[in-house]
């Protein structure tokens, strides 16, 4: 004798989620079994609702439930300063700093020959088009500081060059609370190169 | 700007599950956002299906999708040997040993004056009725070995006494791989009392 079929099926579905193993999946299934029916209904319907309603902003590819996202619709955001990020989560990380009042463009990935991701798989032509419109004065490239993010940044510099726009890259350096002794020498070298006058 | 509303709502629902915090809930929500719609649909429908179909066996209170559970319906299980457990999960733990071929009775809890659980809250009258039918020769009490489980076992011994049935308790002793040095003295004393001839 094993669990009734519908419990086993639910456990299998939970196990497909990231970071959920057999034991965790069992615990979740039995929790829901014992919980009021409304709990399972609320979870199920919020999953389906999210899949139905969330889409990408037609302008910047941020997540939204409308045609354009909150940021693109905000008249207080500077169109002249355009920050290019890999994913909506990176955009949200920058928003969480509360320091940036420009606009964004989400590439929806990075160039990765290893994984077969080329320029045509990213929102690059859309970026070129936005910059071509002439309102953008500066493009801040905020892709990750890893190999793929740096390669994508280099590609963007070349691609944007004909458009005569100022291109900047987020600063590389020692993180707050970090120690010079433990920093890798590449980062430390870049931190010295990028020093600011006090 | 924060996540779109439907993502936030889903994160809140995930956080209500045991062992799922803010970070995990975000990870699950964004995983489902990126996954094919069928993934969310399968998870949602298997949750709802389980809540609809799973109920308790009318005889032993094990989990089932029918009137009687697989074990109660199995003609190969001895009705004369009845194992009393606290929950369907304990039943499944015993089934996993593959050693027990008798029947079960799930109490659906233990006596707990602290939490206001009395005999009338458990499936006790149903147990008495089953034993009264006269086919049961031995009742094995397999409640937990903690205070509440032991108190429930004592209660069962008294309650079943008039029915003139053999009553046994699962063995208390040192677990496999356990060391005598690390065992508590109560367990060790019980292990000596319960010694078996080799």
pLDDT in tens, A33-59: 989 999 999 999 999 999 999 999 999
Average pLDDT over residues B156-163: 95
Note the pTM of the prediction, 2 decimals.
Answer: 0.74
Q: How far apart are CA A53 and CA A41, in angstroms?
A: 18
Kindly determine whether residue A54 and residue B7, on different chains, have CB atoms separated by under 8 Å. yes
Percent of chain A with pLDDT over 90: 76
Residue B75 in tokens: 């003609």
Which pLDDT score is estimated for A71?
A: 95
- Give the pairing type, strands A55-56 and A63-64: antiparallel
Shortest CA distance to A37 belongs to which of B10, B48, B70?
A: B48
Q: Are B84 and B154 in contact (CB under 8 A)?
A: no
Which pLDDT score is estimated for B47?
A: 96
Average pLDDT over residues A109-130: 95
Residue A78 in tokens: 């500077």
Average pLDDT over residues B34-61: 95
Contacts with B4 (C-beta within 8 Å, 6 or more apart), sequence order: A53, A54, A63, A64, A65
Which pLDDT score is estimated for A15?
A: 96
A197 has pLDDT over 80: no
Average pLDDT, chain B: 92
A&B contacts, CB < 8 Å: 143
Kindly determine whether residue B13 and residue A42, on different chains, have CB atoms separated by under 8 Å. yes
Average pLDDT over residues A138-143: 94
A2 has pLDDT over 80: no
CA distance B136 to chain A (A): 21
SS3 category, A78: strand
Kindly provide the residue ranges of all beta strands, DSSP E only, lying in B77-189, ordered along the sequence: 78-85, 102-106, 138-141, 166-169
Average pLDDT, chain A: 92
DSSP sequence for A47-59: HHHHHHH-EE-TT
Name the residue among A28, A48, A70 with its Cβ closest to that of B40: A48
In order of A48, B120, B123, B124, B187, the CA distances from B114 in angstroms are 41, 15, 19, 19, 25
Average pLDDT over residues A137-147: 93
Please tell me the least confidently modeled range out of A64-68, A132-136, B59-63, B184-188. Answer: B184-188
Which pLDDT score is estimated for A70?
A: 93
Question: Rounded to 5 degrees, what are φ and ψ at B14?
Answer: -60, -35
The burial of A71, by beta-carbon neighbours within 10 Å (0-12 exposed, 13-18 middle, 19 or more buried), is given as buried
ipTM > 0.95 for the complex: no
Name the residue among A13, A42, A63 with its Cβ closest to that of B43: A13
Q: B60 pLDDT band (50/70/90 cuts)?
A: very high
Contacts with B134 (C-beta within 8 Å, 6 or more apart), sequence order: none
A1 has pLDDT over 60: no
Q: How far apart are CA B124 and CA B142, in angstroms?
A: 14
SS3 category, A80: strand
Which pLDDT score is estimated for B186?
A: 85
Quick check: B108 contacting A, CB < 8 Å? no
In order of A73, A92, A97, B191, the CA distances from B1 in angstroms are 11, 8, 11, 63
Average pLDDT over residues B40-62: 95
Report H helices in A1-116.
Answer: 5-15, 22-34, 37-53, 70-73, 88-97
Which pLDDT score is estimated for A195?
A: 82
Q: Which structural domains are found in chain A, ordered by start?
A: 77-169 (3.40.1360.10)
Chain centroid to Cα A95, Å, comes to 11
Which pLDDT score is estimated for B1?
A: 52
């Amino acid at each position: 004798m094993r669990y009734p079929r519908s419990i086993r099926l639910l456990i299998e579905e939970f196990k497909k989620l990231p970071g959920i193993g057999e034991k965790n999946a069992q615990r979740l299934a039995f929790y829901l079994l014992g919980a009021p029916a409304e709990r399972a209904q609320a979870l199920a319907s919020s999953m389906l609702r999210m899949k139905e309603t969330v889409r990408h902003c037609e302008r910047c590819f941020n997540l939204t439930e409308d045609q354009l996202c909150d940021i693109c619709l905000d008249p207080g955001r500077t169109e002249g300063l355009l920050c290019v990020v890999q994913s909506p989560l990176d955009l949200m990380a920058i928003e969480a700093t509360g320091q940036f009042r420009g606009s964004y463009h989400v590439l929806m990935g990075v160039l990765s020959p290893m994984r077969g991701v080329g320029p045509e798989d990213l929102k690059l032509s859309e970026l070129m088009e936005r910059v071509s419109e002439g309102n953008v004065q500066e493009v801040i490239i905020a892709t990750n500081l890893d190999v793929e993010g740096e390669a994508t940044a280099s590609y963007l510099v070349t691609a944007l060059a004909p458009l005569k726009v100022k291109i900047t890259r987020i600063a590389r350096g020692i993180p707050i609370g970090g120690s010079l002794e433990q920093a890798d020498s590449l980062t430390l070298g870049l931190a010295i190169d990028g020093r600011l006058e006090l």
